[in-house]
């Protein structure tokens, strides 16, 4: 059997940067929580306003830890152990970064096209940054890829991806997702459960608004 080196469980922190919690984010956070739980990693959703009511299914997610405090307060004494996953960083994440950092930080923001660089809100706090390649990922994909790199020790450019997949909305319409996803064992992009239906619902609503 191949001798696969594994790093011990890490902490993945998503700093929620929106005042509201969109259904898209809720599905992403649910997926991050359950995958982290299954992979022996810790997931912290930080900076959640006390007034924000989380949907019941998210509250029940295995592996979800909620924090009203922000990253700076929670890890005030271990800033050098925090790595910000930053699309604008000059260096890509490597398996060896798993030996340097214990905490991996992500922006809890929905992707946008073109990207508005809201990750800069975390960058200005001064954490060391690493990129996950040149293409924008959804937050759950970014956490998944980071876990594969630092825990399973697979280089970022050796992970199979699908860029900008096209989703069929109905027999006449399709929509292109402007993100990079990890390719699953079924050859399809890995997305949170319920995401394809939500995208279809939102796209049809968008089309309906035009009529």
Q: Where are the alpha helices (DSSP H) in the chain?
A: 23-38, 56-59, 71-74, 97-100, 120-123, 139-150, 195-210
Q: Where are the alpha helices (DSSP H) in 105-165?
A: 120-123, 139-150
87 near ligand SAM, judged by CB under 6 A:
yes
121 near ligand SAM, judged by CB under 6 A:
no
31 near ligand SAM, judged by CB under 6 A:
no
Q: CB of residue 172 vs ligand SAM: minimum separation in angstroms?
A: 28
Radius of gyration of the CA atoms of the chain, in A: 17
* Residue pair 34/4 in contact by the 8 Å Cβ criterion: no
118 near ligand SAM, judged by CB under 6 A:
yes
Return d(Cα 32, Cα 45) in angstroms, integer: 10
Q: From the list 38, 112, 197, 204, which residue makes contact with ligand SAM (rule: CB under 6 A)?
A: 112
Q: CB of residue 18 vs ligand SAM: minimum separation in angstroms?
A: 11
Q: From the list 48, 74, 83, 109, which residue makes contact with ligand SAM (rule: CB under 6 A)?
A: 109
- Residues forming the site for ligand SAM (CB under 6 A): 85-87, 106-107, 109, 111-112, 115-119, 131-133, 135-139, 142
């Amino acid at each position: 059997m191949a001798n696969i080196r594994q790093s011990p469980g890490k902490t993945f922190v998503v700093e929620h940067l929106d005042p509201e919690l969109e259904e898209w984010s809720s599905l992403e956070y649910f997926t991050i929580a359950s995958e982290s739980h299954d992979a022996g990693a810790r997931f912290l959703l930080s900076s959640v306003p006390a007034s924000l009511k989380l949907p019941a299914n998210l509250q029940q997610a295995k592996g979800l830890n909620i924090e009203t405090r922000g990253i700076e307060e929670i890890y005030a004494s271990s800033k050098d152990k925090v790595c910000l996953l930053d699309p604008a960083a000059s260096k890509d994440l490597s398996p060896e970064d798993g030996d340097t950092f214990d905490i991996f930080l992500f922006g809890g923001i929905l992707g946008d096209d073109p990207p508005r660089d809201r990750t800069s809100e975390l960058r200005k706090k001064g954490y060391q940054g690493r990129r996950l390649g040149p293409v924008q990922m959804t937050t759950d994909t970014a956490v998944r890829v980071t876990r594969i790199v630092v825990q399973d020790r697979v280089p970022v450019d050796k992970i199979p991806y699908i860029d900008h997949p096209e989703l069929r909305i109905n027999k006449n319409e399709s929509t292109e997702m402007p993100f990079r996803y990890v390719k699953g064992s079924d050859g399809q992009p890995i997305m949170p459960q319920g995401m394809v239906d939500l995208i279809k619902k939102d796209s049809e609503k968008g089309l309906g608004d035009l009529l």
